[in-house]
Structure 1
Amino acid sequence: MKKKSKVSFDKISFIKLRRMYLFALITIAITVLLSQLLIQYNLNSQLSDSKIINISGKQRMLSQKLTKEVLILNFITDSLHKEKQIDRISKTISQWKFNHYSLVNGNDSLGFPKEKSPILAKHFENLKPNFDIIIKATNTFLANKKQNINDQENQKLVQTILENETVFLSKMNQIVSEYDTEALEKVTLQRKTEYGILAFTLLVLFLEFLFIFKPTNKKVELLISNLLSSERKALKLAQDTEIISEAKENSVKELKSLNYAMENTLLYCRIATDGTIIHIGEKFAKLLQYNPFLSDKKFGQVLTPIEKEQIIIDRIVLENHRRGWQGELNITTRNEQTLWLDLSMVPVTIKRDESELLIICFDITERKKAVQEVERLNAANIADKLNQQKVISSKIVENQENEQNRIAREIHDGIGQMLTGLKFSLESINLDDKEKATIKIEYLKKLALDIIKGVRTATFNLMPPELSDHGINSALAKLTQELSKLTGKNILFYNKTDFNSRLDSLIEINIYRLTQEAINNAIKYADSTHIIVQLSHSATLLSITVDDNGKGFDINAVEKKRNSESGMGLLFMKERIQYINGRVFFNSIPNEGTRITFNIPI
């Protein structure tokens, strides 16, 4: 009964002691934690202040640098040096403005606060007019220098920059001084705060010693002696030994499983810092056709039999055995095949003064081959496009030459001969013979009308006056009317939505030429008797459709024959409509007809 009472007393004393110690430790921990939080906060604040003071001082240097660069640019005459100097000044302005706005408005990335003391806010407000004048004058000066104009104005701008730069330096000195003063006040406050925390901590420790540690010293000794009894020690050691043994067995099993997985799934090996093989995984050895029981082989010799590649690998190991390395290696195996490895080399410390390197690789040969094939196909595609562009360019030049020759023949054979006949007829008029003179004058009137008609036809083919005077609607109506008269085919034009707006001249001439090309193709190649041109529009799109009842064609077959005249015609249409951001659609059925649609954004 006495023992039971004693055990109960010991238990109560232990609980009370534990509570006392916990209270003491928690009090000290809270005091230290609050102290550290306050100190770290003040340190961060001081770090931000040092950055602000540094940037503020840098602003003075940048203003002087900007003024110096402006003065240098003012006397530079060489255009190349002038462009470099202008670029240099632009970079200085950008950095100066960034620093200024960071100081004024705050910057989270730099740790600059948005809120400032009233004195600093007043200083920055006083500084703003001079800063804005320098920025405005410098930008105007740079604009004039780029265009080489307003030399007199530039001299005034330089003088303005010099005057305001002096005032800027003076006001910036006040700002830096104020920042320094406020930082000093923060440091003084922090010192006082730390002294207060130190005094409070010492007081807490003294009170804990006086009311907790000293009264409970005897109780601690008694409780420790009871807790450290031999019976409990033996039981505790036995339990610990059993737990450690079980944990060791589990660790060995995990290591065996991990080793088996690495041997059969990973390409890995361990090497010494001089490159000698310590151990190589089974899968890696099979890939390299290497006997894993051989020793004293260098890693480079295991990877490849090529001496040049071995030297490269040995140099990588020698230069990176301390910090590790990661990269891709291209090696030649013993069966003379190319192998690409994504290799990672990781330093591992085994003992205190002993280390080795863990090599882990991935076979990326197939991926590399796929990348090379993609690059080859891309290069072939680019070459094909370049050849296609050359063919298009040569065809355009050829068509231009043919058009110019045709116009020259029309003028020479038609208008030229009629003008020659007009000249001879005028010279042969005999005013004494009034009857014959009257007949020749009537003939000359008819000949003059034919000449006028020929001139109008030639100018219409070059640039229809309806296009420049009235727009695409009138031009297409005139085009279909004239071609219908010349060819004898039934060519009709319909403006389905009463479109009558004017477009940009480049867009109108391209629409006209595309429609003219589509109608000419229907006349020349489709053997059609009826051709219908329809124009419609919406709020954002203008659409022109050319339908014919000709023999049609196989679109896929024609597009494959890029060198044929019909294939090049489709390609020219696609190229031309891209100039005006439009799209063309071809729809043709053999022996039934063809529809070509042009869609142009408006």
Structure 2
Amino acid sequence: MENESKEIVDIVKFKKLRRLYIFALLTIAITVILSQILIQYNLYNQLSDSRIINISGKQRMLSQKLTKEILILNFVPKVQRDAKEIERVNDILALWQFNQNALEKGNDSLRFPKEKSAELSNLFEGIQPNFNAIAKAAEAFLQNKKLGLGEKKNQQLLQTILQNEPIFLEKMNQIVGQYDQEALEKVTLQSKTEYGILVFTLLVLLLEFLFIFRPTNNKVEMLISKLLFSEKKALKLAHDTEVISEAKENSVKELKSLNYAMENTLLYCRVAPNGAIIHIGEKFSKLLQYNPFISDKTFAEALTSVEKEQNYINQIILEKQRTGWQGEINITTKNEQSIWLDLSMVPVTIKNDESELLVICFDITERKKAEQEVDRLNKQNTDDKLNQQKIISSKIVENQENEQNRIAKEIHDGIGQMLTGLKFSLESINLEDKDKAEQKIEYLKKLSLDIIKGVRTATFNLMPPELSDHGIVPSLLKLTQELSKLTGKEILFYNKTDFDQRLDSLVEINMYRLTQEAINNALKYADSSHIIVQLSHSPTLLSIIIDDNGKGFDVTSVDKKRNSESGMGLLFMKERIQYINGRVFFNSIPGEGTRITFNIPI
């Protein structure tokens, strides 16, 4: 009851504070609105006052201008312009009269007030006779001027204007001064009023702080303290509850472990030490096609129908029921389907004297199939590589045989025939016939030179002497020059980076043979007329580029035709360049030409 009464009192206090807060806000809002209304009203009046002061000052100027124009009309005759001048002076007179009436009686279009202070009313009454005298005299003067009559009378009218005009100006100055004084009084009043509103607003804010904000703040602080105290009590209660529930944790640990196993595996089963099934999961029973409600088979019998496999599983249960077991097994299901399981047996103690095995399985049949497929593909790939290597070896042997046959043919048909001719020529020399002997000797000299040239050509094709003596650059230069002479095609060599290093002899001979084969392919298959061999290097790489303007080829399609002559040629280049840890790149466009690039580490 005491707590309820406190809550009721707090609610009443909050309602009272809320009403006071709303009242304070309304007071400030009304104050601000009234302040704005007053400021706008005063600004509107100030605009009217400034316009009135402006028109009042203009009246003095108009009266002076009217007097000056009338004097000009009187003393400076302009017959041809009198009508226009009179009309213009009439306009000035009309504007002067209109402004004076608006100032005195008020005007809605000019926003001139009709009500005036007593001082202004007295001043306007005092200036009215002078204004009327000037206006009547000016009207009469202009009328006489327009009709061309009464020059003598015009002089009297002019005297009337001149007598009243200074008086009018003086009184008009008084009116302007009065307007200015009243405008200053209005501004001063507005300033005082705004200060008063400001003081009132500050007072309201001070009262709000003292009687609303500070009590509300104190109340909120008190509520926060109560909430913090309640939170501490709740935390203590939670801690006490946790201490109480700790005694129950031991009794549910087994259930938590089993629940964790079931939640995180798809295939599970609880098995007794003798192999009987205590419980089998739904997923596992579907996989094994086993109905636990109408069957009492052991775990091994439910797992497979093959006796040999059953004995193996029973042996595992018997030997590993205390230590557990994990491994992969292959079983045969009821429908003669072979599946692989990643099986784990975990011993679980339910009570002090009772234990069981928790069997957790993963179906890894697809993974095993994938592994078998990978093994098959690896074996197939190995076989393909072996067959490819056999083809390469046979082609190498075949090329060596062809090269040997070509060299033997060159020696037999070329050098051999020339040596035979040399032998017969030597035998036919008759020293007694000096003239014929000299001719035959000259012929023998020429034949000897041809034999030497043939021997050099044959040895050059086998192993150019420049390669072993001077290195790759001179040998490639010699190769392009010789092939250019023999074929009649333009074959050029450029050493772009002035490479002059010697490399390992195995690297140099392979680079030479690769370049030789690339040039021969361009001549034999591409029907090229221009071939450019470029050599360049960096600190770690030597690059040889062979460009030709031949008919080109489709690199992808040729690379797939491993059994064709062109496909084997590309394969030989790749095999040879890999032998010296290099790389080869083929870039060819049918109908435009081919570029072959060899990159060798140095």
TM-score, normalisation: structure 2: 0.57
Distance 1:455 1:540 in 2: 38
Q: Which amino acid aligns with 2:272?
A: A
Distance 1:409 1:246, change over 3 A: closer
Q: Structure 1 stretches of 5 or more lacking a match?
A: 1-239
- Work out whether 1:596 is the aligned partner of 2:600: no
Distance 1:496 1:242 in 2: 84
Distance 1:245 1:447 in 2: 117
Distance 1:353 1:394 in 2: 75
- The answer to whether the Cα contact below 8 Å between 1:282 and 1:292 also exists between their aligned partners in 2 is no
Per the TM alignment, residue 242 of structure 1 is displaced from its structure 2 partner at its CA by: 13
Distance 1:298 1:359 in 2: 13
Distance 1:401 1:264, change over 3 A: closer
1:111-260 equivalences under 5 Å are 255=255, 259=259
Per the TM alignment, residue 252 of structure 1 is displaced from its structure 2 partner at its CA by: 7.1
Q: Structure 2 stretches of 5 or more lacking a match?
A: 1-239
Per the TM alignment, residue 532 of structure 1 is displaced from its structure 2 partner at its CA by: 0.7
- Work out whether 1:419 is the aligned partner of 2:419: yes
- Work out whether 1:496 is the aligned partner of 2:496: yes
Partner of 1:533: 533
Distance 2:278 2:244 in 1: 30
1:80-479 equivalences under 5 Å are 255=255, 259=259, 262=262, 266-294=266-294, 296-479=296-479
Distance 1:498 1:339, change over 3 A: same
Distance 1:568 1:418 in 2: 37
- The answer to whether the Cα contact below 8 Å between 1:346 and 1:359 also exists between their aligned partners in 2 is yes
Question: How many aligned residue pairs are there?
Answer: 363
Distance 1:249 1:514 in 2: 79
Match of 2:350, SS state, is strand
Per the TM alignment, residue 419 of structure 1 is displaced from its structure 2 partner at its CA by: 0.5
Per the TM alignment, residue 257 of structure 1 is displaced from its structure 2 partner at its CA by: 11
> How much identity, in percent, do the aligned residues show?
84
- The answer to whether the Cα contact below 8 Å between 1:264 and 1:283 also exists between their aligned partners in 2 is no
Distance 2:511 2:543 in 1: 10
Partner of 1:190: none
Distance 1:395 1:260, change over 3 A: closer
What is the CA deviation profile of residues 81-127 of structure 1, one whole-angstrom value per residue up to 9, with x for unaligned ones? xxxxxxxxxxxxxxxxxxxxxxxxxxxxxxxxxxxxxxxxxxxxxxx
Per the TM alignment, residue 255 of structure 1 is displaced from its structure 2 partner at its CA by: 4.3
Q: Which amino acid aligns with 1:439?
A: Q
- The answer to whether the Cα contact below 8 Å between 2:543 and 2:600 also exists between their aligned partners in 1 is yes
- The answer to whether the Cα contact below 8 Å between 1:348 and 1:358 also exists between their aligned partners in 2 is yes
What is the CA deviation profile of residues 331-360 of structure 1, one whole-angstrom value per residue up to 9, with x for unaligned ones? 111122222111111222333433222211
Distance 2:414 2:475 in 1: 25
Q: Which amino acid aligns with 1:426?
A: L
Distance 1:281 1:476, change over 3 A: same
Per the TM alignment, residue 451 of structure 1 is displaced from its structure 2 partner at its CA by: 0.6
Distance 1:327 1:249 in 2: 33
What is the CA deviation profile of residues 540-595 of structure 1, one whole-angstrom value per residue up to 9, with x for unaligned ones? 21111111000000001011001111111111111111122111111100000000
Per the TM alignment, residue 495 of structure 1 is displaced from its structure 2 partner at its CA by: 1.2
Match of 1:351, SS state, is coil
Partner of 1:568: 568
Per the TM alignment, residue 472 of structure 1 is displaced from its structure 2 partner at its CA by: 1.1
Q: Which of the two has higher C-alpha Rg?
A: 2
Match of 2:359, SS state, is strand
- The answer to whether the Cα contact below 8 Å between 1:345 and 1:357 also exists between their aligned partners in 2 is yes
Structure 1 stretch displaced more, 276-285 or 260-269: 260-269
- The answer to whether the Cα contact below 8 Å between 1:265 and 1:283 also exists between their aligned partners in 2 is no
Distance 1:252 1:349, change over 3 A: closer
Match of 2:551, SS state, is coil
What is the CA deviation profile of residues 239-262 of structure 1, one whole-angstrom value per residue up to 9, with x for unaligned ones? x99997997699779949965982
Match of 2:358, SS state, is strand
- The answer to whether the Cα contact below 8 Å between 2:494 and 2:534 also exists between their aligned partners in 1 is yes
Distance 1:325 1:387 in 2: 45
Per the TM alignment, residue 516 of structure 1 is displaced from its structure 2 partner at its CA by: 0.3
Distance 1:423 1:319, change over 3 A: same
- The answer to whether the Cα contact below 8 Å between 2:254 and 2:350 also exists between their aligned partners in 1 is no
Distance 1:489 1:273, change over 3 A: same
Distance 2:256 2:503 in 1: 80
Distance 1:523 1:296, change over 3 A: same
Q: Which amino acid aligns with 2:567?
A: G
TM-score, normalisation: structure 1: 0.57
Distance 1:265 1:416, change over 3 A: closer
- The answer to whether the Cα contact below 8 Å between 1:471 and 1:508 also exists between their aligned partners in 2 is yes
Distance 2:413 2:269 in 1: 89
Partner of 2:551: 551
Distance 1:246 1:292, change over 3 A: farther
Distance 1:419 1:259 in 2: 100
Q: Which amino acid aligns with 2:375?
A: E
Per the TM alignment, residue 322 of structure 1 is displaced from its structure 2 partner at its CA by: 2.2
Distance 1:444 1:243 in 2: 122
Distance 2:251 2:258 in 1: 10
Distance 2:599 2:257 in 1: 68
Distance 1:245 1:511 in 2: 83
- The answer to whether the Cα contact below 8 Å between 2:551 and 2:591 also exists between their aligned partners in 1 is yes
- The answer to whether the Cα contact below 8 Å between 1:483 and 1:491 also exists between their aligned partners in 2 is yes
Per the TM alignment, residue 499 of structure 1 is displaced from its structure 2 partner at its CA by: 1.4
